[in-house]
Structure formats: C-alpha cells, structure tokens
Structure 1
Amino acid sequence: MGKLRVALLLLVAWTVPAWAGDCPRPGTLGTSRTLEVDATRYPRVGLKSFPQTLPLEDKEVVLTFDDGPATTTPRILDALARECVLATFFQVGRNSQGMPGIVRKAAALGHTMGHHSWSHPHLNAMSLKAATDNIDRGIVADETALNGKATNVPRTPFFRFPYFESTPELLAMLQARGIVVFGADFWASDWLPMTPQDELKLITGRLKAARKGIILFHDIRAQTAAMLPDFLKYMRVNGYHVVHVVPKPKGVEKHADANDIASAVPPVDELRGRSSPDE
C-alpha cells in the first residue's frame, strides 16, 4: 500500500507540470502574450479603483485570483494548465505559510505570484504602521513559501489591497518601494453564494460588456473552481485572448508613454450597496 500511495502522489505531482510543459497545444486557449509591468509606468491599475488600467487590446484579458492558496487552488491550476493559460495569484500570507507546496507548484507552472497582505484585514482602518506591518508580514510569508527566504522585498512587486481598501499614504508607500497596486476592471462576484452555472452567466455577461480588462476571481471558492473550465472554453470559442502580466526586469530602462495607459468607462456593477470585491 505504501508503494502504491507514493506512486499515486508522484502521478498527481507531475500531471499538471506535464500539461504545462506541452504548451502551447492546438485546440487550447493559450496565453497570447506577456506584458511587463512596473511601478514607474503602471503604479496603480484597474478601473474599479483607479482612473487607469493596463494597455489591453480588444478581447484581451488578464486573469487574477485572490485569497489563496487553498484546498481549491489545485483545481484552478488544473483548469488553467489544461488550456495552457497563465494567471496571477494574489496570496494571503498566512495561507502561504500553511500551504507552501501549492504556492511553489503555481510558481513552477509559470504563474505570477503577487501579494494580498498577511491576514486580509481592512487596511484602511489601521494605522499606517500597523497596515504596513501586515503588508510586509504577508510578503515575508509569501517569499518564504516561494523561495525559502524571509524578506519583505518581493521578487514579484505586485500587491492588491483586501476589499480594494487603500489610503493615499499606503499607496505612496508602495509606489516608493516599486510595488504595483492592482485593482480590477471587473469581477465575478464569487464571494456571493451562487452555482457555477450562475457565476458563468454573470462573468460572461460582464466580459461581453467590458470586452477586455483585468478580471478578479477567488481561488478559495469551490464554485469558481468548478466554473473555470467552462469559462476558459467560452473565451476560446469566442475569440478572447489571455495576457500574462509579469514584473519588468530590474535594470531595464523605463520610459513613460501616455499612450500605454488605457482609460475606459468601467462596466456598471450589478450589485447595489457594495463597493468591495472581497468578503
């Protein structure tokens, strides 16, 4: 029984990387291009929170997932790997500390690993010091899970505020440290109870309306994990393209170009009385 169990674990461990290693494959959605992002040119992006977003073409989307890692994250990774798609994960530090293997697996598959605080608090209700400490503690936990090194200097300098609740002081602090703040252009509202079918209908409707943008999901949601294969198929069938965002390498000369920062009218939020994307 012991040998059989080891064999099964090895099979599980290598299946997803094998799919990813075969990419791109005919008949998959794929990742159409990579977009390098840094805080000089793109300090804050996402029309739900800021007046600017990433320079995406019509029918281009950036897939992002918050609040992991979680027991549902491997299902998200499976769905992405089957379609040769790369995404960005904004991790909660205490979850990374508890599930470092999932963090490393996502990174090994090529996904971008961003940061989402230590404990998912309302950072705008805390003192600047307490909020900064929570952000840094989360980065340290994420970096330790990823690289075995306890540092508050993120290898991937991408951060998303829990609930999208920032303050001018925190935004200035992050920009001074070269950390890009991500909002979103629209989201799946998957913090609300709904069936995978209802979530698919909601997010495809919003995608049709927006046509492009940064999409927010939560990899901790079972309904999202169940819905994602059908959503990726929908994008493939309907001619959408996935853009993978990565940090601009250090030492590369940066030139701001006003044409690179796209602004657009955000889609009307279907929810009433709610301005935050997280529970």
Structure 2
Amino acid sequence: MTIFFSRQPHLRPILLALLLSNVAPAAHAAGCGPNVLGPSRVMPIGTQGGGETGLKTYPRSLPLADHEIVLTFDDGPWPGTTPKVLDALAAECVKATFFLIGRNAAAAPALVKREITEGHTVGHHTMTHPSLTLRGLPDARAREDINRGIAAVDLAAYGTAGTEPRVPFFRYPGFGDTPALNHWLETRNIDVFSADFWASDWVPMTPEAELQLVLARLDKARKGVILFHDTKAQTAAMLPAFLRALKQRGYKVVQIVPGPGPIATLPAPADWTSATERTLQKMWPKAPLQKEPAAPAPGEAVPDAQ
C-alpha cells in the first residue's frame, strides 16, 4: 500500500487518524503475544466545531460497542508512577489517552515523549490544575491557564508549540466547566472529554480494593470512557491485574485519536442524571451552579498540591 502525506501540515493528523483506524490494530497486534489483552481498534473522534462527551458530565457518550472501553489517565506525567503505568500498558499491548498538566509535562518532558513514542494519545488538562477548578477562576484567567497548559504540553512533546494544540482533546480539572469556556473551546475545534465512570482513585485504598471497585463499576456500565490518574501509586500497582481482568471478561480497549468532521456521540439513557453539580457543591459549596451540569472527579489534584 502506498501512502501519500498531505503537503498541508494541518491535514496530517486527520490523515494519520484515518490511516490508524484501518491498519493500526493489525500492525500493533503483530508484535503482541496471544495471551495479552492486545489492541482492539482506533476510533477517530471528529473535532470540527468541538463538542463535549462523557456521561459523568454530559448527556451523551462516545459510540462504543458493548464491552468496549477507553482508558484515560489524568494529571501526569509523574516520575514515580507514570513509568509503571506505561510499562503495564506496553505489557498488554494497549493504548490509552493521557490528559497532561502543563507544569508536570514541562518538568518531565522525557515521559511525555515516551507516551507519544509508545503510541498513546496525549491531550490537555490545563497548566496548573486549579484546586477550585476553572469554574472558580475569572474567565480570562481560566483561558490563560488552558492556553499555557496546551503550549507547555506541546513544547515538551514536540519541541515547538503553536497557537492551537496538536491534539485538540481537553479535560477540565475536576470536570468543572462553564458554558462560556465550552463555547470558546468549540470555536477552536477542541473536544472536551468528561468520563462515563471513574476509578475514584483519589480515595486512598489498596490496589486490590481499587481493582474490585473498578471492575464492579465496569461490569455495571458494560462500556465507556474510564478515568484513572497515573499519578496514583495504588492505580499503577493495580493496573496490571486490571488489564488481565479485562481480557478474562471479554472487554476490548479502544484508542481515541483526532479525526475529521464533527464529533459523533450517542445520547444518554432515558434515566440519565449528572453527578456534576451535587458533587461540586459538596466539595466547594460556594461554587456557582450551572444550568448545564459539569461533573468533577472529587479530589483530583496535582500530587504536590495534596
């Protein structure tokens, strides 16, 4: 097969996404043994006009099939734990999406480069991960924190940073969005990712307890985008057993990458409700309520802020 890459740089990520969606699983599987979880498929996610997805925050989710999951990790890179997470993923030949804090990426650029070299998707999670979420900041400061984070991650990853992200995927710290910020990101063709369920790994527990909790939630949901933190030692220790359990239970791991066109989603079930506002209000009682909810991950924070 002959592959021609566009002379227009802004089209190359889209062309690469289309290419990966067709050939990446087979190519990656060739180097994997029969007893590992292995790759399933690559799903290009349209970014034209932006969009928001993830049932913890929004009444829509990615169009995953039954027993398909997307692995996502927030807050890294973190030298003490991210290498162990990457080792576990490599051992099972699966790919994840990492939403990086800019200042952590600037402090550990080698880990950012390793994530990309090993084929993972690298998105954005602000520069400083404000403890009160972006909702607690003036709009101008929130935009600045997002822009600085994008620039820091891209500089660590690729050696240069432009005005727009190489990978237009973003996740709010604590899932604390605002309508104004969502609209602004949409005008920049940046997708916003919540999650469909989370590991609650901000709560101290043993790796064994976390494994049982996540598997119970997964078996109930049967599919979806799951939120972990690669900054958590308990998650890094739990991950090998979790990936083995996925294979035993017949789950498939899907990698998401930027793609052409608008984002495709599935509507939430008829009984859908959001945990966003009630959780934010428990954590930050003075936080303003939003008419459209935006779910947080309780206690999600940069390790040196805890």
Amino acid at match of 1:49: T
**TM-score scaled by structure 1?**
0.85
Distance of aligned partners of 1:39 and 1:91 in 2 relative to their CA distance in 1, 3 Å threshold: same
1:31 counterpart SS class: coil
User: Is residue 159 of structure 1 aligned with residue 170 of structure 2?
Assistant: yes
Unpaired runs of 5+ in structure 2?
Answer: 1-27, 284-294, 302-306
**1:169 maps to amino acid:** A
- Mapped contact 2:68–2:224 kept (Cα < 8 A): yes
Q: Does the 8 Å contact 1:188/1:199 carry over to 2?
A: yes
Distance 2:215 2:67 in 1: 12
Which consecutive unaligned segments of at least 5 residues does structure 1 have?
1-19
Equivalent runs, 1:1-16 vs 2, <5 Å: none
Identity of aligned residues (%): 47
- In the alignment, does 2:106 pair up with 1:93? no
User: Does the CA contact (< 8 Å) of 1:209 and 1:267 recur in 2?
Assistant: no
Q: Kindly indicate whether the alpha-carbon contact (under 8 Å) linking 1:48 and 1:266 is maintained by their aligned counterparts in 2.
A: no
Q: Is the 8 A contact 1:210 1:267 kept in 2?
A: no
Q: Which residue of 1 aligns with 2:122?
A: 113
TM-score by length of 2: 0.78
- CA drift of 1:38 comes to 2.0
Within a 5 Å distance, the mapping from 1:76-87 to structure 2 comes to: 76-87=85-96
After superposition, the Cα gap between the structure-2 partners of 1:268 and 1:206, relative to the gap in structure 1 and judged at 3 Å, is farther
Name 1:186's counterpart in structure 2. Answer: 197
Q: Distance in 2 between matches of 1:227 and 1:144?
A: 31
Q: Distance in 2 between matches of 1:218 and 1:224?
A: 7
3-state SS in 2 of match to 1:24: coil
Deviation at 1:276, TM superposition (A): 2.4
Give the direction of change, closer, same or farther, for the CA distance of 1:218–1:105 in structure 2 (3 Å limit): same
1:243 matched to 2:263: no
The 3 A distance-change label for structure 1 pair 228 and 144 is same
1:4 — aligned with what? none
Q: Please, what is the CA RMSD of the aligned residues?
A: 2.1
CA pair 100-45 structure 1, distance change in 2 beyond 3 A: same
Matching of residue 130 in structure 1 with residue 141 in structure 2: yes
Alignment length (residue pairs): 253
Q: What amino acid maps onto 2:47 in structure 1?
A: A
Q: Hey, what does 2:220 align to over in structure 1?
A: 209
Residue deviations 1:108-155, cap 9 Å, x none?
000000000000012111111110000000000000001110324111
Q: Distance in 2 between matches of 1:119 and 1:216?
A: 19
The question of whether the paired residues in 1 share the 8 Å contact of 2:50 and 2:189 is answered with no
User: Which amino acid in 2 is paired with 1:263?
Assistant: A
Higher deviation after alignment, 151-160 or 206-215: 151-160
Q: Distance in 2 between matches of 1:267 and 1:228?
A: 29
Q: State whether residues 65 and 88 of structure 1, in contact with CA within 8 Å, keep that contact through their aligned partners in structure 2.
A: yes
* Cα gap change, 1:134 to 1:26, in 2 (>3 Å): same
- Within the candidate set 71, 75, 80, 2:84 is matched to 75
Does the Cα contact within 8 Å between 1:186 and 1:267 map onto a contact in 2?
no
Paired residue type of 1:78: D
Mapped contact 2:50–2:186 kept (Cα < 8 A): no
Q: What is residue 25 of structure 1 aligned with on the other side? A: 33
Please report how far the alpha carbon of residue 261 of structure 1 lies from its aligned counterpart in structure 2 after TM superposition: 2.4
CA contact (8 A) 1:45 1:184 kept: yes
Q: Which letter maps to 1:133? A: E
Q: Which amino acid aligns with 1:50?
A: Y
